[in-house]
Structure formats: C-alpha cells, structure tokens
Amino acid sequence: MKRAFVAAAVVAGVGAGLVRRLRSRAASRQDDLSRWLVVTVNVPPERFGETPEPLARLKDHIEIRTAPAPGGKGTELAARLCGNGRTGGTGPIARLSGNDPRQPVREALREAKSLIETGEIMKPDAPPTTRSTPGGKLVGLVTRRASGEGRL
Amino acid sequence: MKALCWEGVNELSVEDVPDPELRNDQDVIVKVSAGTTCGSDLHLIGGYIPAMRAGDVIGHEFLGEIVEVGPGVRRHKVGDRVVVCSFVGCGRCWYCANDLWSLCDNSNTNPGITQAMWGYEPGAVFGYSHAMGGLRGSHAEYVRVPFADYGAFPVPDEVDDVSALFASDSAPTGWMGADLGGVRPGDVVAVWGCGAVGQMAARAAMLLGAERVVCIDRFPERLAMTRQHIGAETIDYTETDVGAELRELTGGRGPDVCIEAVGMEAHGTGPDYAYDQAKQQLRLHTDRPTAVREAIYSCRKGGSVFVLGVFGGAVDKFPLGALMNKGLTLRGAQMHGQRYIPMLLDRIAKGELSTRHLATHEMSLDEAPTAYDMFKHKKDGCVRAVIRPGGAAA
Ligand SMILES: NC(=O)c1ccc[n+]([C@@H]2O[C@H](COP(=O)([O-])OP(=O)(O)OC[C@H]3O[C@@H](n4cnc5c(N)ncnc54)[C@H](O)[C@@H]3O)[C@@H](O)[C@H]2O)c1
Ligand SMILES: [Zn+2]
Ligand SMILES: [Zn+2]
C-alpha cells in the first residue's frame, strides 16, 4: 500500500514537474520559433569545417550561423527555423507527441556537436528496458523526446 | 545474462536481461568481476531519483575484464583488467577537457530531462536512471562502457580487485571533495558521514595536508573503522552537540573545510529532522539537507563547504543567511573521476590509501538484493557489500 503510494507519488511528481515546465513556457511561446538554438562546440573557429550531416539534413527548414565563443571556448553553432519550417505546434501536446518543429533542430545541433567533438553520437543501451509498466511507459515517452527537448 | 534490476520502490530482483552489445565504435564490453553497493543507489532504490523504469539494471562502481573492443578504441585491448569510472566522459567536450568530467556534454542521451529539472544536464552515469543517461548498470555479468579510452583505467598488477574497485567511484568522490573543497596544509576538516565516501574524503584531506580531520556519524562500527583505518577523529552526533564539539576542537574557529558525504536521506535527531522527513514523504520537498545545514552552520567564517552527498531537487530551510553573512564558499559536484583515478590507483599500490577495509561483505550476484538490504539498513556492520557476478571469490 505504502509502496504503491510512493511509486504513484514519484510518477506524479515527474509528470507534474513536466507539465509545469511545459506550461511555464506557454506565455513566451509567441517568439519561440524564431529564436536561435545554440550549442558551443569545443573546436576553434578556424578548424570548424562544413556543416555536419545532422544539420545539413534540415537545410531547407533552418538557417545556420557560427561565431567564435569567448574565452577560447570553441565555436558557437546556432540554428533556427525559417520559412515554412516555422510552422507547427509548440504547446505541451506537440512537444510530448514529438511534433514541435524545434525538436529535430535541437537534436541535430546536439548530434552535430558530438560528431565534431568525439567522432560519434553516443547511443543509449538497447533495449531500454525489458519490462513494461505504466510508470515505465511514461518515462519511456519522456526519454523518447529528451534528445529534442530541454534548453538550447 | 543475469543482472540486478530495479523493479519499483524498495524492490530489487535478479533477472535475465539481454547481453549488452557494442553500440558505438568507442565502446568496450567489460565482464564484471566485482561491483559494490553505493549510497547513491539507496536514493534510487528509495524512489527519490526520477525516471527509473522497472527492469533497469543498477550499479555503477565496478571493475572487470575487457572482453570486446570497438574499432574506435585506442588504449585498450581484450583481456585488460580495468576499473571503470562511474561517470561517462567523452574526453573532448569543453567540460571533459577542463577536468569537469561528470559534466560531459556528450554522454547523456536524454539531456532534455535534467535540463528541465536543473537548467543544464550532467553527463551519464551507469545504472542511475533515464534522467542520468539511461545506461545499464554494472551489477550484471557484462556491461557496455562507452568512450572507454577515457573512462576505463588499467589496474596495476600488484593491486587486488577489491582494493581497486573503490577507485571507480567512492575514492575519487572523496578525493574530489577535499581537492575542490580547497583543503590546504594545516587545515582542520570536518566530514559528515562515515560511509565509504566520507572515509575517502577524510583520507584525501589528510593526504592533502590537513592537520586535523574530524568525521561525524552515528554508527559505532563506522566511527571505529574511520579511526582505525583512516586515522581521523570521530564524533557520534547522537551523543553530543556536533557544533559545540567542533568549536572545542578548533579553538572556537570552526573547521576550515566542511565536507558533506551524507546526501538526501540524511538522518537526524531534532524536530527539523521530523519536519524534513514528513515533507519528503509527501513529496513536498525531495531532499533532507540535515547534514548540509549543519555543515554550513558549523563552518568557520570564510570557510568552504563541499556537498558530495547526492541531492535531486529543492530543499527547505536552507541557511542562505549563514552562507552569505559568513562569507562561505559552497560547492558540490558529481564525481570527476577521470581526473583522479590513475593517481588513486597509484596511491593504493603504494599503500598510501587503504580501501580494502570498506568491503565488509562479499556476495554473489544472486545475493545482491540481500546485499542491498544489509547495506541500506547498515546490518551486520555493512559498510560496502562487494558483489561478484562470477560468484564469490575464493
Ligand atoms: N558526488 C558524487 O559523485 C557521489 C559519488 C558517490 C556517492 N555519493 C553520495 O555520497 C553519499 C554517501 O555515500 P556512501 O556510499 O558513503 O553512503 P552510506 O549510506 O554508506 O553512508 C552515509 C553515512 O551518512 C551517515 N549519516 C546520515 N545522516 C547523517 C547526519 N545527519 N550527520 C552525519 N552523518 C550522517 C549515515 O549514518 C551513513 O553512515 C550519498 O549521498 C551518495 O549518493 C556522491
Ligand atoms: Zn556511487
Ligand atoms: Zn565530454
């Protein structure tokens, strides 16, 4: 009984946190699609080559720019949606269902950074788990979105 | 293969799970010869770390033999005996390049979760929830080790498995607390918690030149072990007033450096403990910062407090006024193990750092749920249970 309560509370806690996060963004949603999403790559600008593949794939929907990072921190690599790339939902439902157009941009930026820095994109272990439970499914949904979510 | 799985809050069981595979060129597969229970696992088991799924393999402090090597691995070969850092670092992002390995930008494949919780994501750690990367843990026959050139370290021949095992997580964690806490020759250092992490922090403080090290806990066997094997003085916080004791020991000044090695499930004696516990049970706050509060309160003016204990979210009644008005430096971190592991193995080999005594129990993988039960409830004097997936050593 107690255990079930604690488990439910944990799941509810994660869920509530997520909803709060998603909602708190709602107010500033308006300009979100035009905002630059940025990662800093630990490579000096002079050694920064072609636009790496994960971003090149999105080239019809995004613009890209680079700038030297201050303090020798490498190169700032930025991308933002442009033209018809800027359509689509950005609310909690779009984000949870993987239809927010910023998600592939974030993911591509992260992948590009990792490829340039390390030569690979680290993959999670597979399969993620061997058991299916309601709490686990919620975590699974969140992790499926996690590489395209968060703050860039 | 067999592995120890988290099945729900306070539920562990040994299950059959698929063998790990090389997923990236820079991976190796390690056949685990020994792993150990860590205080961090207790927070997972207790349900205080979000984003666990039933069936997740736990364990992150381990040593073993490399049995498979990806084509991108340069520094290791099949057959090497290695100790593996609990945190995974790519070695080439700005954080890894600056020796802040647990902050690696490229190892956490689920960055969105902890970015939402904390603003930015830490790197991945083995067997420690999908928020912390979702990697399978090491209480298993085999484990995949990504970025192995940076996270796996050869063990000197003269160091036995159990001694080397603690160079994976607890020893570098303790060392980091003393090092980044800024311990200097002549300092008086206080350490909260006499688990493996606290003991290692105390020993590190001594090796960095501290003149006096005082460790605080309530379990007599842990206090005795800390006196005997680490050589620190001890205080039983259930027997005395810790603050008054520390003032008496430090000429009224208070310790120069305070290291907290207790974490979010701290135990306490006063009414604030009952309050914290009630709020945590109701999930009104996630962590019990009893020892952090005491460390901040006891620390000398202008001193430094390092939080090694794991915390997950927000805490209540945090003494911000004491921190600000006393001019303290507060710092914390998940362990930057890669920075210290070779040096620690070297010190273990030279006999400067003793770790073997931490292994109070050795058990097989089948007995792992019992091992965790003993460790959680500190039964039979358990400080660390060593789990041997290949069966207990001869
Ligand atoms: N920062 C890191 O990278 C890192 C790495 C490993 C472990 N940890 C954390 O370090 C902490 C300790 O780990 P461990 O393996 O030594 O755990 P442990 O459970 O063996 O030891 C914790 C000790 O703290 C004592 N304690 C509880 N409340 C106390 C209080 N109010 N004052 C003084 N002592 C108190 C307990 O009696 C126990 O002996 C955990 O929170 C763990 O998650 C952090
Ligand atoms: Zn640990
Ligand atoms: Zn890195």
DSSP letters for B207-242 = HTT-SEEEEEES-HHHHHHIIIII--EEEETTTS-H
User: What integer pLDDT is reported at residue B160 of this predicted model?
Assistant: 97
Show the ligand 1 pocket: residues with CB < 6 angstroms. B 38-40, 42-43, 169-170, 173, 192-198, 216-219, 222, 237, 261-263, 266-268, 290-291, 308-310, 334-335
Secondary structure (3-state) at B272: helix
Minimum Cα–Cα distance from A73: chain B residue = B94
Minimum Cα–Cα distance from A149: chain B residue = B112
Neighbours of A40 (CB within 10 A): 18
Nearest ligand atom owner, CA of B335: 1
Q: Are B178 and B366 in contact (CB under 8 A)?
A: no
Identity of the amino acid at B318? F
| DSSP letter (8 states) at residue B103 | G
**What CA–CA distances, in Å, run from B255 to B299, B301, B319?**
5, 9, 17
- pLDDT of B107 above 80: yes
User: What integer pLDDT is reported at residue B278 of this predicted model?
Assistant: 79
Distance of CA B1 from the midpoint of ligand 2 (Å): 23
Compute the nearest-CA separation of B207 from chain A (Å): 33
Which stretch of A120-124, B271-275, B332-336, B360-364 has the lowest confidence by average pLDDT? Answer: B271-275
Share of chain A above pLDDT 90, in %: 36
Q: Are B202 and B191 in contact (CB under 8 A)?
A: yes
List the domain boundaries for chain A.
1-33, 34-123
Q: What is the pLDDT of residues B218-235, one digit of tens each?
A: 999 999 999 999 999 999
Give me the mean pLDDT over the A59-76 stretch.
Answer: 94
Which ligand 1 atom is at minimum distance from the Cα of B263? 41
- pLDDT of B98 above 90: yes
User: What integer pLDDT is reported at residue A29 of this predicted model?
Assistant: 52
Nearest to A133 among B51, B54, B283 (CB): B54
Distance of CA B94 from the midpoint of ligand 3 (Å): 7
Using pLDDT thresholds of 50, 70 and 90, give the confidence band for residue A11: very low
Using pLDDT thresholds of 50, 70 and 90, give the confidence band for residue B242: very high
B314 exposure class (CB count in 10 Å sphere: 0-12, 13-18, 19+): exposed
Give me the mean pLDDT over the A78-92 stretch.
Answer: 83
**What CA–CA distances, in Å, run from B314 to B127, B231, B284, B289, B317?**
23, 35, 9, 10, 10
Region of B155 please: left (phi>0), alpha (psi -120 to 50) or beta.
Answer: beta
Residue whose entry in the numeric block shows the structure tokens 């690599």 = A77
Q: Could A143 and B110 be called an inter-chain contact, meaning their C-beta atoms sit closer than 8 Å?
A: yes
Q: Measured between alpha carbons, how far is B35 from B363 in angstroms, rounded to an integer? A: 10
User: What integer pLDDT is reported at residue A130 of this predicted model?
Assistant: 72
Which residue has better confidence, A99 or B138? B138
> Smallest Cα–Cα separation from A45: which of A28, A70, A20?
A70
Question: A2-26 and A134-146 helices cross at what angle (nearest 10)?
Answer: 30
Which ligand 1 atom is at minimum distance from the Cα of B222? 39
Using pLDDT thresholds of 50, 70 and 90, give the confidence band for residue B273: confident
Q: Could A123 and B54 be called an inter-chain contact, meaning their C-beta atoms sit closer than 8 Å?
A: no
- pLDDT of A16 above 70: no
Q: Could A124 and B110 be called an inter-chain contact, meaning their C-beta atoms sit closer than 8 Å?
A: yes
> Smallest Cα–Cα separation from B159: which of B62, B76, B83, B79?
B83
Question: B290-298 and B271-281 helices cross at what angle (nearest 10)?
Answer: 140
A145 interaction partners in chain B (CB closer than 8 Å): 112
Q: Are B45 and B309 in contact (CB under 8 A)?
A: no
- pLDDT of B44 above 70: yes
Which residue has better confidence, B277 or A116? A116
- State the complex-level ipTM: 0.92
Residues ≥6 apart with Cβ < 8 Å to B371 = B37, B361, B363, B382, B385, B387
Minimum Cα–Cα distance from A112: chain B residue = B106
B113 interaction partners in chain A (CB closer than 8 Å): 142-143, 146, 149-150
Which ligand 1 atom is at minimum distance from the Cα of B198? 16
Distance of CA B40 from the midpoint of ligand 1 (Å): 8
Question: Domain B170-332 - what CATH class?
Answer: alpha beta
Q: What is the pLDDT of residues B168-194, one digit of tens each?
A: 999 999 999 999 999 999 999 999 999
Q: Are A51 and A79 in contact (CB under 8 A)?
A: no
User: What integer pLDDT is reported at residue A23 of this predicted model?
Assistant: 54
Mean of pLDDT over chain A: 79
User: What integer pLDDT is reported at residue A137 of this predicted model?
Assistant: 84
Using pLDDT thresholds of 50, 70 and 90, give the confidence band for residue A3: very low
Give me the mean pLDDT over the A27-36 stretch.
Answer: 68
- pLDDT of B18 above 80: yes
Using pLDDT thresholds of 50, 70 and 90, give the confidence band for residue B382: very high
Q: Are B89 and B123 in contact (CB under 8 A)?
A: yes
Neighbours of B394 (CB within 10 A): 3
Which stretch of A54-63, B20-29, B118-127, B253-262 has the lowest confidence by average pLDDT? Answer: A54-63
> Ligand 1: which residue has its CA nearest to atom 6?
B170
Using pLDDT thresholds of 50, 70 and 90, give the confidence band for residue A20: low
> Ligand 1: which residue has its CA nearest to atom 5?
B173
A146 interaction partners in chain B (CB closer than 8 Å): 109-113, 130
User: What integer pLDDT is reported at residue B275 of this predicted model?
Assistant: 80
Using pLDDT thresholds of 50, 70 and 90, give the confidence band for residue B314: confident
List the domain boundaries for chain B.
2-169+336-388, 170-332
Where helices occur in chain B by DSSP H, the ranges are: 39-45, 94-97, 111-118, 148-151, 161-165, 170-180, 196-207, 220-225, 242-249, 271-281, 290-298, 320-325, 341-350, 368-376
Residues ≥6 apart with Cβ < 8 Å to B325 = none
Q: Measured between alpha carbons, how far is B216 from B238 in angstroms, rounded to an integer? A: 10
Give me the mean pLDDT over the B322-350 stretch.
Answer: 98
Mean of pLDDT over chain B: 95
Nearest ligand atom owner, CA of B26: 3
Q: Measured between alpha carbons, how far is B362 from B372 in angstroms, rounded to an integer? A: 12
Query: pTM for this one?
Result: 0.93
- pLDDT of A19 above 70: no
- pLDDT of A13 above 50: no
Q: Measured between alpha carbons, how far is B179 from B288 in angstroms, rounded to an integer? A: 25
> Smallest Cα–Cα separation from A66: which of A96, A43, A99?
A43
Compute the nearest-CA separation of A141 from chain B (Å): 11
**What CA–CA distances, in Å, run from B304 to B171, B181, B334?**
20, 6, 17
- pLDDT of B159 above 80: yes
Q: What is the DSSP string of B332-361?
A: E-S--GGGTHHHHHHHHHHTSS--GGGEEE
**What CA–CA distances, in Å, run from B301 to B211, B252, B272, B345?**
18, 11, 24, 35
> Ligand 1: which residue has its CA nearest to atom 9?
B309
Residue whose entry in the numeric block shows the structure tokens 């698929």 = B18
Nearest ligand atom owner, CA of B268: 1
Compute the nearest-CA separation of B276 from chain A (Å): 16
A17 interaction partners in chain B (CB closer than 8 Å): 50, 116-117
Where helices occur in chain A by DSSP H, the ranges are: 2-26, 53-56, 92-96, 102-118, 134-146
Among the four given CATH numbers 3.90.1150.10, 3.90.180.10, 3.40.50.620, 3.40.50.300, the one describing domain B2-169+336-388: 3.90.180.10
